[in-house]
């Protein structure tokens, strides 16, 4: 069935990696569904302690993310990605033994470092496996398969939630550890093409734009894309609380919204990404993302003011509009992260690009709580304006970065982006 949907690559190594990604994200679904209850019910930590510990772990991971990208350029993305998978497997296993806050904090930091490192190096690994011709489609296919894995993992975790025992919650975390290990074994067996690794110390001798930290145009695009990615936390944090506290909608509509979102991403991510094979195409999709996400905010702002029957229809419409914006944003982001980076330093550049969504992941709940959950309808209109501004900023920054890259010497740019005639 998955093959018929067209979300699995046809090329051997990429296909094997996509299957490994499904296995990995099944574990992520187990963890996402049960980790909060594990930490509070089994480890006996307070909600604030868990939140602070995980935030610290993510923050440390973000601070070190570009280091792993540089290591991927030095030693190859497969090796670094494999090591990080093994670290995550160990961290999840260690979580099952944690019974104090200090131990939890240490493991959370190790897990956060590995998590952000994986997020930053996966793009370089896809580029290595697929090359310029297939990398964008492969990245979209991986995102679709991620949703498949998360859906399966969440479904499996429901058995533990029904059992509601310490053993059941512990098995979810242990299962995630086992699936990280299985993924690592699958990645280790991947046949990967040989690449010319960058000699150590070469970064210092290259022009500024060969380093993402010194490449201001690229960082501006990454920042704008990161702001647009606030939609991730909007769906996972703000929307459930808003529907439960501010609308007359039945609580089961949350499950329906998540199913609609997941199915649409699986079915249309690859198709939408086809429009972002050039920087110009990515710019168009980013603008559409801003418009769609802003429209979804306006629709959500209306929900407290309509009756129970109408609100269900409105929320289903919201799910479709919102998901279209999500698809456009992710596709545009994939394009910019690849096309505006030199082929000789994808590890460092992909890691730097992942910082934007990573920061939004850490700061998003606080931002949305202050903006939307505190100020209500006015807050949703403000969030709509924020998405529009972020889309415009990202589009202008990407177009400018593309023009600068085209006129830069080949030794600086590495490769020119595909521009439409």
Domain end point (choices 158, 192, 226) = 192
Same domain, 150 and 37: yes
144 and 225 share one domain = no
pLDDT digits (tens, 9 = 90+) for 388-409: 999 999 999 999 988 887 644 4
Domain that holds residue 225: 206-407
Task: Note the pLDDT of residue 420.
Answer: 34
Q: Domain ends where: 192, 217, 252?
A: 192
Residues 325 and 351 placed together within one structural domain of the fold? yes
Q: Which of 11-25, 223-237, 344-358, 363-377 has the lowest mean pLDDT?
A: 344-358
Are residues 229 and 82 part of one domain? Answer: no
Do 117 and 149 share a domain, yes or no? Answer: yes
Residue 42 lies in a domain: yes
Per-residue pLDDT for 417 more than 50? no
| Whether 124 and 37 share a structural domain | yes
Q: Last residue of some domain: 192, 221, 254? A: 192
In a domain, 178, yes or no: yes
Q: Please report whether residue 200 resides in a domain.
A: no
Local confidence band at 89 (pLDDT 50, 70, 90 cut-offs): very high
The per-residue pLDDT for 413 is 38
pLDDT for the residue 410: 40
Do 175 and 250 sit in the same domain of this protein? no
For residue 391, the domain's CATH number is 1.20.1250
Range 219-236 average pLDDT: 92
Contact 347, 414 (CB under 8 A): no
Asked if residue 414 belongs to a domain, the reply is no
- For residue 254, name the pLDDT band (cuts at 50, 70, 90): confident
- Shared domain for 121 and 248, answered yes or no, is no
- Per-residue tokens: 224: 């704008």
At residue 198 the predicted structure's pLDDT band, cuts being 50, 70 and 90, is low
Same domain, 124 and 264: no
Structural domain contains residue 413: no
CATH code, domain carrying 78: 1.20.1250.20
pLDDT, one tens digit per residue, over 338-386 is: 888 887 777 788 888 888 898 888 888 888 988 998 899 999 999 999 9
Pair 5, 111 in one domain: yes
Total structural domains within the chain: 2
| Whether residue 330 is found in the same domain as residue 398 | yes
Residue 421 has pLDDT above 50, yes or no: no
- 271 and 366 in a single domain? The answer is yes
């Amino acid at each position: 069935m998955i093959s018929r949907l067209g979300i699995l690559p046809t090329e051997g190594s990429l296909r094997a990696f996509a299957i490994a990604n499904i296995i990995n994200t099944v574990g992520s679904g187990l963890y996402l569904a049960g980790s909060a209850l594990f930490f509070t019910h089994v480890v006996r930590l307070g909600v604030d302690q868990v939140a602070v510990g995980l935030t610290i772990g993510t923050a440390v991971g973000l601070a070190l993310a570009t280091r792993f990208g540089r290591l991927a350029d030095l030693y190859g993305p497969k090796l670094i990605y494999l090591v990080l998978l093994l670290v995550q497997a160990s961290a999840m296993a260690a979580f099952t033994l944690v019974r104090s806050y200090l131990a939890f904090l240490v493991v959370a930091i190790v897990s956060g470092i590995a998590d952000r490192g994986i997020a930053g190096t996966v793009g370089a690994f896809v580029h290595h496996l697929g090359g310029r011709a297939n990398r964008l489609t492969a990245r979209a296919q991986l995102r679709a398969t991620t949703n498949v894995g998360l859906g399966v993992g969440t479904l499996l975790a429901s058995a533990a939630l029904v059992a509601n025992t310490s053993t059941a919650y512990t098995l979810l975390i242990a299962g995630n550890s086992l699936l990280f290990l299985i993924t690592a074994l699958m990645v280790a067996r991947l046949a990967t093409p040989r690449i010319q690794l960058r000699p150590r110390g070469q970064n210092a001798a290259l022009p500024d734009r060969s380093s993402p930290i010194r490449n201001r145009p690229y960082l501006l695009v990454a920042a704008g894309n990161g702001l647009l990615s606030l939609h991730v936390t909007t769906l996972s944090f703000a929307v459930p609380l808003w529907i439960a506290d501010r609308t007359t909608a039945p609580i089961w509509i949350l499950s329906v919204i998540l199913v609609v979102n997941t199915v649409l991403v699986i079915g249309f991510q690859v198709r939408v990404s086809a429009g972002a094979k050039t920087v110009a195409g990515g710019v168009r999709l980013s603008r559409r993302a801003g418009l769609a996400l802003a429209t979804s905010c306006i629709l959500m702002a209306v929900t407290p003011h309509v009756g129970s029957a109408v609100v269900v229809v409105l929320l289903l419409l919201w799910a479709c509009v919102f998901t279209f914006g999500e698809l456009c944003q992710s596709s545009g982001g994939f394009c910019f992260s690849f096309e505006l980076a030199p082929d000789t330093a994808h590890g460092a550049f992909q890691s730097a690009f992942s910082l934007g969504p990573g920061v939004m992941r850490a700061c998003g709940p606080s931002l949305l709580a202050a903006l939307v959950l505190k100020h209500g309808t006015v807050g949703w209109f403000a969030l709509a304006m924020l998405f529009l501004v972020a889309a415009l900023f990202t589009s202008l920054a990407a177009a400018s970065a593309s023009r600068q890259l085209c006129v830069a010497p080949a030794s600086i740019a590495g490769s020119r982006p595909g521009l439409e005639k």
